Amino acid sequence: MGKSKACSKSALKVAKSPGEDMKLLYIYGEAGMGKTHLLNSINNYIVENSKSLKVINITIYKVINNMINSISNDKNDLFNSEFYNADVLVFDNLQDIN
Protein backbone atom coordinates (compact mmCIF):
# COMPACT_ATOMS: atom_id res chain seq x y z
CA MET A 1 0.00 0.00 0.00
CA GLY A 2 1.39 3.40 -0.95
CA LYS A 3 1.86 6.23 1.55
CA SER A 4 -0.95 8.29 0.04
CA LYS A 5 -3.42 5.41 0.19
CA ALA A 6 -2.41 4.56 3.77
CA CYS A 7 -2.91 8.19 4.80
CA SER A 8 -6.34 8.31 3.15
CA LYS A 9 -7.34 5.03 4.79
CA SER A 10 -6.29 6.32 8.23
CA ALA A 11 -8.13 9.60 7.65
CA LEU A 12 -11.33 7.79 6.73
CA LYS A 13 -10.99 5.53 9.79
CA VAL A 14 -10.71 8.57 12.07
CA ALA A 15 -13.58 10.35 10.32
CA LYS A 16 -15.92 7.36 10.53
CA SER A 17 -15.33 6.68 14.24
CA PRO A 18 -13.67 9.67 15.91
CA GLY A 19 -11.95 8.86 19.17
CA GLU A 20 -12.57 5.12 18.95
CA ASP A 21 -9.86 3.15 17.14
CA MET A 22 -7.48 6.06 16.65
CA LYS A 23 -7.36 8.90 19.14
CA LEU A 24 -4.71 10.85 17.24
CA LEU A 25 -3.84 11.24 13.59
CA TYR A 26 -0.81 13.33 12.71
CA ILE A 27 -0.48 14.12 9.02
CA TYR A 28 2.81 15.54 7.82
CA GLY A 29 4.50 16.21 4.52
CA GLU A 30 5.82 18.89 2.25
CA ALA A 31 3.84 22.00 1.34
CA GLY A 32 1.26 21.42 -1.36
CA MET A 33 0.76 17.72 -0.64
CA GLY A 34 -2.90 18.10 0.40
CA LYS A 35 -2.65 17.92 4.20
CA THR A 36 -5.10 20.78 4.76
CA HIS A 37 -7.49 19.33 2.18
CA LEU A 38 -7.41 15.98 3.97
CA LEU A 39 -7.96 17.61 7.39
CA ASN A 40 -10.91 19.57 6.03
CA SER A 41 -12.34 16.39 4.53
CA ILE A 42 -12.09 14.65 7.92
CA ASN A 43 -13.72 17.65 9.58
CA ASN A 44 -16.56 17.82 7.06
CA TYR A 45 -17.24 14.08 7.27
CA ILE A 46 -17.49 14.18 11.06
CA VAL A 47 -19.69 17.29 11.05
CA GLU A 48 -22.06 15.78 8.47
CA ASN A 49 -22.22 12.26 9.93
CA SER A 50 -21.79 12.74 13.68
CA LYS A 51 -23.98 15.74 14.36
CA SER A 52 -23.88 15.26 18.13
CA LEU A 53 -20.12 15.85 18.25
CA LYS A 54 -18.64 19.31 18.71
CA VAL A 55 -15.80 19.69 16.22
CA ILE A 56 -13.25 22.51 16.22
CA ASN A 57 -11.15 22.94 13.08
CA ILE A 58 -8.51 25.58 13.71
CA THR A 59 -5.06 26.61 12.54
CA ILE A 60 -2.22 26.88 15.00
CA TYR A 61 -1.99 30.59 14.15
CA LYS A 62 -5.53 31.15 15.41
CA VAL A 63 -4.81 29.09 18.55
CA ILE A 64 -1.80 31.26 19.34
CA ASN A 65 -3.72 34.48 18.64
CA ASN A 66 -6.62 33.33 20.83
CA MET A 67 -4.20 32.40 23.60
CA ILE A 68 -2.49 35.79 23.46
CA ASN A 69 -5.83 37.61 23.48
CA SER A 70 -7.09 35.52 26.39
CA ILE A 71 -3.97 36.23 28.43
CA SER A 72 -4.02 39.93 27.52
CA ASN A 73 -7.67 40.25 28.52
CA ASP A 74 -7.33 37.97 31.57
CA LYS A 75 -9.86 35.51 30.14
CA ASN A 76 -7.94 32.23 30.33
CA ASP A 77 -11.09 30.29 31.24
CA LEU A 78 -12.71 31.28 27.95
CA PHE A 79 -9.71 30.05 25.96
CA ASN A 80 -9.53 26.75 27.85
CA SER A 81 -13.26 26.06 27.68
CA GLU A 82 -13.25 26.39 23.90
CA PHE A 83 -10.99 23.35 23.62
CA TYR A 84 -12.10 21.35 26.66
CA ASN A 85 -15.69 21.31 25.40
CA ALA A 86 -14.74 19.93 21.98
CA ASP A 87 -15.18 16.28 21.13
CA VAL A 88 -12.84 16.51 18.14
CA LEU A 89 -9.96 18.95 17.60
CA VAL A 90 -8.55 19.39 14.12
CA PHE A 91 -5.33 21.43 14.18
CA ASP A 92 -3.65 22.61 11.00
CA ASN A 93 -0.13 23.97 10.54
CA LEU A 94 1.33 22.46 13.72
CA GLN A 95 4.70 22.32 11.97
CA ASP A 96 4.91 26.10 12.29
CA ILE A 97 5.30 26.02 16.08
CA ASN A 98 8.86 26.94 16.95
Summarised one tens digit per residue, pLDDT across range 42-98 is: 999 999 999 899 999 988 898 888 888 888 888 777 667 777 888 998 888 888 777
The C-alpha R_g of the chain, in whole angstroms, comes to 15
When pLDDT is cut at 50, 70 and 90, the band that residue 27 belongs to is confident
Is 40 a residue whose pLDDT tops 80?
Answer: yes
User: Quick one: which of 37, 39, 46 has its CA closest to 15?
Assistant: 46
Cα–Cα distance for residue pair 1/43, rounded to 1 Å? 24
Domain count, the chain: 1
CA dist 63 and 59 (Å) reads 7
Assess whether pLDDT exceeds 80 at residue 30: yes
| Residue 40: domain span | 3-96
pLDDT digits (tens, 9 = 90+) for 1-21: 677 788 888 889 989 988 887
